[in-house]
A and B are shown apart, each in its own frame.
Chain A
Amino acid sequence: MLRRAVRTLDERTGSAPFLHKALRYVFPDHWSFLLGEVALYAFIVLVATGVYLTLYFEPSLGKTVYHGTYGPLRGMQMSEAYKSVVDISYDVKAGLLIRQTHHWAADVFVAAIVLHLLRIFFTGAFRKPRDLTYLIGLMMLGLSLPEGYAGYSMVDDLLSGMGLAIGYSVALSIPVVGANVGQLIWGAPYPGAHSFESRLYIAHVFIFPILIGTLLAVHLALVASRHHTQFRRRKADGQRRVIGVPAFPGQAPKSLGLMVGTAALLFLLGGLVQINPIWLWGPYETGLSTNGAQPDWYLGWLIGAMRLVPGFDVTIGRYTLVPNPLWGGLLFPTLVFAVIGLWPFAERRLTRDRRVHNVLDRPRDAPWRTALGAGFLTFVLLVFFAGSADRAYVSYNVDYSTQIWIYRALLITAPVAVTWLTRRICLGLQRSDEIDEEREAAEREARQAAQAPA
């Protein structure tokens, strides 16, 4: 049947050679190669659910009065945008399921990208000829953050408004041009012009998704054209030949299973676990606030950074050159992305290894990379956890400012300690590999000696 389908297609498009190549594409078999696919499937769920939501979402800050199903909000003044999301949650068929699935898919999408990035980093898969693929992947991660932020913000609930207030103050903190940037994006001083809502909307449903989708296509094309990397095998030159299963019939059912499984999990979460219950947060007015407002997890590290940076502004006389939010809100993430993005090139310089690499390192094979990566990850994770210090205070009663000082101390010591420890572990594992090899060689020799005629 497949043959017939291919023939039908080929007669009209002449694509048989391409299809042949695609179906014979070889996937190496290791579970960690599937993490990127999870991100891809989460993205598909995001687009599918997102399309459904756009049918009902009203990107307008025009005022209206709620008369819908949810009792406590009846008679309340709110924006069209907020009202339409309450309606999606309460009155649109399957609206709440789709909305919650969309939000869970966003959280999982970024998580899967991060896991994928960790796999790529710690196995050295970013090395030539895949450094460009790596950079494009990193750009997608970078774009998914403002994409998620725009989605979180355009609902115009209480958390949206408070998140935007922080975003606005970060925009204003850019030296010299901050006020202009704020004006450019918001259209007016905070909370901004009415057109700001449509800008968020266009950014969220059009600009960022198109950018991510395009980069995704390029990313996958590059992966396919350079072929997958693979782990080292005995008796095989992995640099030239990929060993694994063909796209069809080997990999296809596996990928299909993973796609169905990812979608099933996301819909299960969407149906069973409440996420962002905006009817509880209520509509936003500039005078209102809630304690413990937080961004979605993938921006938690920015809140953490803003909390950990000591409170100071750079001033010249009465003129504030660099307001405080710049350090944590903008410079810190820029620096983190710069370090991750420049790593392949820095490594090439430092190790003077400019060769093409198609075979992966195990983390222990590159002790310095693994150690520095683990140290850097510790640093970012600590900043990330500091973002939830307020809730930790409420839940575990550890004084807030004590926590902040503990985090500051850990930020200086823990990455160094983790780097040192990781390197030691890598070297230890290498040594135990050597011992194993020596033992095997000795056993082989002994066997040969025993078999040999005396």
Chain B
Amino acid sequence: MRWRWTAAAVAAALLLAAVAAAQPPNGVIRPSNESSLHPLELGAQLFAGNCASCHGSGGRGVTGPAQRAAGGTRGQGPPLTGAGAMAADFYLRTGYMPLGNPKNQPEPDRKLWNPREIHALTAYVASLGHGEPIPHPDPAAGSVGEGQQLFTEHCAGCHQVAGQGGVVTGARVPPIEHVAPVEIAEAVRTGPFLMPAFSKQQITDRELNSIIAYVRSLGAHDQGGWGIGRVGPIPEGMVTWFIAAIALVALCVLLGERLKRT
């Protein structure tokens, strides 16, 4: 009888997955003739439908009502006229934008656009003014050692020395271990939310390659065995109590009971 339950459970899971996949990603508006539009035209339409409520028509920003959005931004959202392709690409491909509520810290959990749409929106935002283009980092050209030094110096104070994220006044700092190289490069140059933007004088492109090489190498240095999150004492304490202490108490009980029986 067991296989029937298993089969029923599998069928139910498949059904749920199918339902989830069939639903359109909610929260965004798309033109019905999306596939026939020129990228720039598609970008303009998507922007008007999904971004202009905060960033203003033509990306000129929305100054009133007199309230502050997350991170101290004035009005609903900042103007994007000088933002450029780099910033647009970063916010869209990470899922930081579109933002559910302008008062919240952006979280990388709303990946609502497909690559063609991201390309179209990025092209549109780039056409609004003179901004930075999308960078092309080459972590293979960097040195992991130099990257560790630079990362400790510039990044570890907020992102934790092994890239596991942390807390600063006013924001939660995301873990970055699994972030794609281009997104790291974009974040360093753009300075999203509370993060400072680093100029090419502060961190050269070559140094940036090293930093990315270091971040991408983080998973490779667990010589000690199971890495337990690479944040140090907190998971170590959990292992102490939830694995070691429980095992040792169990051993005590076992030895104590054995004696009673004999």
Contacts and interface: CB of A to CB of B under 8 A. Distances in A.
Given A111-B240, A115-B245, A275-B224, A31 B152 contact: no
Contact of B152 (A29, A33, A290): A290
A343 interface: no
Contact of A274 (B167, B222, B256): B222
B243 to A, nearest CB: 8
B242 to A, nearest CB: 11
A293 B164 CA distance: 11
A100 interface: yes
Interface string A275-300: 11101111000011111111111001
Interface in B204-261: 214, 217-218, 221-228, 230-234, 236-237, 239-241, 243-245, 247-249, 251-260
Contact of A31 (B165, B217, B245, B255): B255
Given A31-B257, A158-B152, A390-B166, A276 B244 contact: no
B191 interface: no
Contacts, number: 196
A107 interface: yes
Interface stretch (A255-263, A320-328, A439-447): A255-263
Contacts of A112: 245, 248
Contact of A290 (B107, B156, B225, B234): B156
Interface string A71-94: 111111000000000000110000
B158 interface: yes
B214 A393 contact: no
Contact of B259 (A107, A254, A400): A254
A76 B164 CA distance: 23
Contact of B148 (A282, A291, A394): A282
Interface in A359-394: 388, 390-391, 393-394
B240 A394 contact: no
B157 interface: yes
- What is the interface residue range for chain B against chain A? 35 or more
A29 B226 CA distance: 37
Nearest to A288: B152
A275 B245 CA distance: 16
A428 interface: no
A32 B230 contact: no
Contacts of A288: 152-153, 156
B232 A291 contact: no
Given A390-B166, A394-B166, A274 B152 contact: no
Contacts of B257: 31
A35 B145 contact: no
Interface in A155-173: 158-159
Contacts of B249: 35, 115
A290 B166 CA distance: 9
Given A29-B260, A107-B240, A294-B234, A274 B166 contact: no
B144 interface: yes
Contacts of B63: none
Contacts of A394: 164-167, 172-173, 175
A295 B148 CA distance: 22
B151 to A, nearest CB: 9
A151 to B, nearest CB: 13
A257 B254 CA distance: 11
B148 A292 contact: no
A269 interface: yes
A276 B237 contact: no
Given A273-B224, A292-B165, 10 more contacts: A35-B249, A70-B221, A73-B145, A100-B224, A261-B251, A262-B248, A272-B225, A274-B227, A277-B223, A281-B232
Interface of B: 107, 144-145, 147-149, 152-153, 156-162, 164-168, 172-173, 175, 214, 217-218, 221-228, 230-234, 236-237, 239-241, 243-245, 247-249, 251-260
